[in-house]
Amino acid sequence: MAKTEKDVRFSKFGTVSFTGVTQVNDFIDYLEQGKLMGTKCKDCGLKFFPPRAHCFKSLSGNMEWFEVTGKGKLVSFSTLRYGPTGFTEELPYTIALVDYGDYKVFGRIDPAVAEPDSNLKVGMEMVAKTAKTANGQLTYVFNPA
Partner 1 sequence: MSRVAVIGVGQSTFVRSYPGSIRELAFEAYSEAMKDANIQNADIDATVMCSAPEYDKQRSPAGVVAEYLGLNPQPTFYVETLCSSSSTGLKLAYSLVASGLHDCVMVLGFQIMSQLTSNESQERMGRGADIQWESPFGTMMPAYYALHAQAHMAKYGTKPEDLALIRVKSATYGVLNERAVYRKPVALEDFLDPQKMGGPVASPLRVGDCCANADGSSCIIVANEEKAKAFCKKPVWILGIGSASAAVNMVGRESLTGLAVGIEAGRQAYKMAGITPKHIDVAEVHDCFTIAEMMAIENLGFAEAGGGPELVRAKETYKEGSIPVNIDGGLLSKGHPIGATGGSQVRTIVRQLRDEADNIQVKDPMFGLVHNIGGVGLYGNVTIFGRE
Q: Establish if 119 lies at the interface with partner 1 (CB under 8 A).
A: no
Closest to partner 1 by CB, 2 vs 123, is 123
* Min separation Cβ 111 and partner 1, Å: 12
Question: How far is it, in rounded angstroms, from Cα 141 to Cα 126?
Answer: 10
Q: Which residues are within 8 A (CB) of 110 and not within 5 positions of it... i.e. 6 or more apart?
A: 129, 131, 141, 142, 143
Contact region for partner 1 (CB under 8 A) — 29-37, 39-47, 54-62, 93-101? Answer: 93-101
* Min separation Cβ 67 and partner 1, Å: 17
Among 31, 77, 110, 128, binds partner 1 (CB under 8 A): 77
Task: Count CB neighbours of 102 within 10 A.
Answer: 13
Among 60, 62, 76, 135, binds partner 1 (CB under 8 A): 76
CB-based contact 142:126 (threshold 8 Å): yes
Q: Establish if 19 lies at the interface with partner 1 (CB under 8 A).
A: yes
Q: Does residue 92 have a cis peptide bond before it, meaning omega lies within 30 degrees of 0?
A: yes
